[in-house]
């Protein structure tokens, strides 16, 4: 399973959306904590400083072992999303020849239907959906429920891997495929973090291995707080210099969930005669609520109903 796919689950999730007025019949949502505090922008990160001995705890582990731990925590955070309903605020800006041609903010509610991520669009550019737009959302939702409930187990299992190979970065075997070393320590969002620096192995030519990554891990909880990936070569339509960054917050002080994800890239679009478009997209995730199926058993009097043939 691609852990870049895990990290990008929200940013590149299917654009299908569901209606504001509809929810799965078996869904029950309960608040588990106060909404995540959404800031206008994250403050500039503190500089990375060298580690000082004596090395204890996380700092005493080999870099490869820390990398495996980071990969496991990123995977766990992505899988944990299936237990939550949350708001996804997307700000999307596109530039052509330096001119801003697209600038939209879309707020959606993210849920899982049949184990697969799904976005319920709520508003666009500050305007709640209504009329034909809302009717279209109802139609898309009905279609998604029908399609996902009819999937066979093999197809469902394959789709649940959230395989986004077009993004072409695989962190499952990070220490085997890249050169990994401890860069130092850094303070992020009041977390004391150890920072891994990940670079291509000398001589490698695979485009999907031309990455520079930095992973900040909380030394106390050992959760990943920040993942930054930079493309060092053009790859699959994305220009060199593409940057994807995911910041995590700890819900209740212990549960790591994505808080913000930014994507900055120049892409070539064949439909526009391979015109280069500078894409700047930011997703902010907030208002996490527990999502679970519930079954209620009621006591009734009298004989049981007849069996259905």
Distance CA 11, CA 108 (A): 12
Q: Which two tokens stand for residue 19?
A: 């209606």
pLDDT tier at 10, thresholds 50, 70, 90: very low
Instruction: Give Cα 168 to chain centroid, integer Å.
Output: 15
Instruction: Give Cα 266 to chain centroid, integer Å.
Output: 20
Give the range of the structural domain holding residue 66, as residue numbers without chain letter: 3-293
DSSP 8-state class, residue 302: S
Domain count, the chain: 1
Q: Note the pLDDT tens digit of each residue in 33-78.
A: 333 334 455 667 789 999 988 899 999 999 999 999 999 999 999 8
| Mean pLDDT score across all residues of the chain | 80
User: Helix, strand or coil for residue 276?
Assistant: strand
pLDDT tier at 215, thresholds 50, 70, 90: very high
Return the minimum-mean-pLDDT range out of 28-37, 186-195, 214-223.
Answer: 28-37
DSSP 8-state class, residue 148: H
Which residues contact residue 297 at a Cβ distance below 8 angstroms, ignoring those fewer than 6 apart?
none
Instruction: Tell me whether residue 27 is exposed, middle or buried, using C-beta atoms within 10 angstroms of its C-beta: 0 to 12, 13 to 18, 19 or more.
Output: middle
**Model confidence, pTM:** 0.78
**306 within a domain of the structure (yes/no):** no
pLDDT tier at 157, thresholds 50, 70, 90: confident
Cβ(144)–Cβ(118) below 8 Å: yes
């Amino acid at each position: 399973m691609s852990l870049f796919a895990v990290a990008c689950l929200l940013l590149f999730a299917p654009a299908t959306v569901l209606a504001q007025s509809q929810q799965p019949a078996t869904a029950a949502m309960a608040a588990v904590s106060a909404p995540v505090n959404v800031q206008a922008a994250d403050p500039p990160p503190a500089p990375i400083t060298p580690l000082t001995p004596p090395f204890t705890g996380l700092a005493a582990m080999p870099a490869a072992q820390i990398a495996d731990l980071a990969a496991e925590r990123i995977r766990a955070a992505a899988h944990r999303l299936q237990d939550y309903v949350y708001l996804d605020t997307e700000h999307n800006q596109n530039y052509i020849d330096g001119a801003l041609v697209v600038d939209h903010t879309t707020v959606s509610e993210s849920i899982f239907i049949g184990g697969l991520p799904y976005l319920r669009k709520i508003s666009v550019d500050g305007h709640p959906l209504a009329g034909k737009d809302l009717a279209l959302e109802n139609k898309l939702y009905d279609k998604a429920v029908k399609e996902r409930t009819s999937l066979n187990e093999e197809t469902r299992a394959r789709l649940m891997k959230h395989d986004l190979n077009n993004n072409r970065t695989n962190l499952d075997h990070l220490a085997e495929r890249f050169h990994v070393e401890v860069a130092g320590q850094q303070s992020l969002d009041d977390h004391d973090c150890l920072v891994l620096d990940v670079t291509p192995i000398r001589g490698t030519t695979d485009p999907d291995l031309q990455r520079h990554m930095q992973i900040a891990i909380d030394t106390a909880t050992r959760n990943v707080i920040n993942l930054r990936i930079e493309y060092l070569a053009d790859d699959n339509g994305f220009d060199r210099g593409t940057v994807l960054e995911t910041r995590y917050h700890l819900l209740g002080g212990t549960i790591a969930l994505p808080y913000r994800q930014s994507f900055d890239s120049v892409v070539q679009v064949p439909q526009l005669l391979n015109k280069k478009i500078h894409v700047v997209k930011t997703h902010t995730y907030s208002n996490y609520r527990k999502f679970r199926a519930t079954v209620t058993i009621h006591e009734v009097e009298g004989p049981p109903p007849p069996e259905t043939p």
